[in-house]
Homo-oligomer: A and B are copies of this chain.
Amino acid sequence: MTIHSLNLESIATFFCDKKTPAEAARQASVDTSAELGEIRFRSGLQFEQALEDIEGFSHLWLIYSFHLHPHQWKPKVLPPRGSEKKVGVFATRSPYRPNSLGLSCVKLVERKGLILRVQSFDLLDQTPILDIKPYLSYSDSFPDASMGWLQGIQEQKLTIQLSTLAETQLQFLEDLGLREFRNVILQQLSFDPLNSQKKRVHQLNSSQAVLSYKTWRVFFKPSLHEQLIQIQEIRSGYNAKELADLQDPYQDRALHLQFLAKFNGPLLVADDEGAK
């Protein structure tokens, strides 16, 4: 068998607020936020012409490089949900593949010259885009396709409810730039929310648990038999000692101080697990 080699160069770069894998949606279409991402094409390469007529398509395929991912592949991987045992990497969309190529279908919102604005995506900021193709419903849509080990996973999806306090807190943080937090909560808690092996979650007692995201803590009540997660409130993950640390290792002390001034929540006690 001949081995074929191929040298590719990015044609565009993706820009959005999501910086780390934990912030991204599990798959593009499950990102129901209004956040826009921008695909900025390289200039001076006639890409203006190549993008003509793309406006008529509601959905686009992006083929991209998992640029943040170590280019090191694994034959078997533990999926974030749907299986408690490892499955073959080709039976997943995991980045641990021999050729580090990603594939996502996103919604096209508008084109402005060399920029495409898209919605409902799972890409991270600075992702190099290698190709873009129109979605063709007659050839790409198989609503009844069977999905092996993932079959039935959608039925396990939990409803996430936010208390008035949690909603106000989230909006406050979003307005101050923490725009990916809501998505993180939805991604982490919609499936298998108490799995401490797969996520930074800690059950406090039979009716309350806490999810850690960066320096923040999300307190929630899991009602698994009702397929419901009630988000009660958000708290700072800093304890008093950390909050007094002027070195500010996570560069977000000011944001926490604003949050605490507004919501007057309790600080962690010194021997609780701290901010990191």
Which residues of A are interface residues toward B (Cβ below 8 A)? 1-11, 13, 27-30, 40, 42, 45-47, 49-59, 61, 63, 65, 67, 73, 75-76, 87-93, 97-101, 103, 105, 126, 128, 130-151, 154
Residues of B contacting A28 with CB < 8 Å?
A: 139
Check B138 against A154 for contact (C-beta < 8 Å): yes
Check A142 against B142 for contact (C-beta < 8 Å): no
Residues of B contacting A46 with CB < 8 Å?
A: 75
- In whole Å, how far is A149's beta carbon from the nearest beta carbon of chain B? 5
Check B93 against A133 for contact (C-beta < 8 Å): yes
Please report the C-alpha to C-alpha distance between residue A1 and residue B41 in the assembled complex, in whole angstroms: 9
Check A8 against B8 for contact (C-beta < 8 Å): yes
Please report the C-alpha to C-alpha distance between residue A141 and residue B53 in the assembled complex, in whole angstroms: 22
CB-CB under 8 A for A92 and B6, given A55-B148, A141-B145, A146-B57: no
Query: What residue in chain B is nearest A91 (Cβ atoms)?
Result: B53
Please report the C-alpha to C-alpha distance between residue A243 and residue B150 in the assembled complex, in whole angstroms: 58
- In whole Å, how far is A205's beta carbon from the nearest beta carbon of chain B? 34
Instruction: Quickly give the copy total for this chain.
Output: 2
The A contact surface, by secondary structure, is: mixed
Check A9 against B2 for contact (C-beta < 8 Å): no
- Which of A2, A27, A126, A130 has the most chain B CB within a 10 Å cutoff? A130
Residues of B contacting A6 with CB < 8 Å?
A: 7-10, 65, 100, 128, 130
- In whole Å, how far is A252's beta carbon from the nearest beta carbon of chain B? 26
Check A147 against B142 for contact (C-beta < 8 Å): no
- In whole Å, how far is A147's beta carbon from the nearest beta carbon of chain B? 6
Please report the C-alpha to C-alpha distance between residue A139 and residue B135 in the assembled complex, in whole angstroms: 13
Residues of B contacting A50 with CB < 8 Å?
A: 73, 75-76, 88-90, 97-98
Residues of B contacting A13 with CB < 8 Å?
A: 1-2, 4
- In whole Å, how far is A23's beta carbon from the nearest beta carbon of chain B? 18
Query: What residue in chain B is nearest A28 (Cβ atoms)?
Result: B139
Please report the C-alpha to C-alpha distance between residue A47 and residue B58 in the assembled complex, in whole angstroms: 36
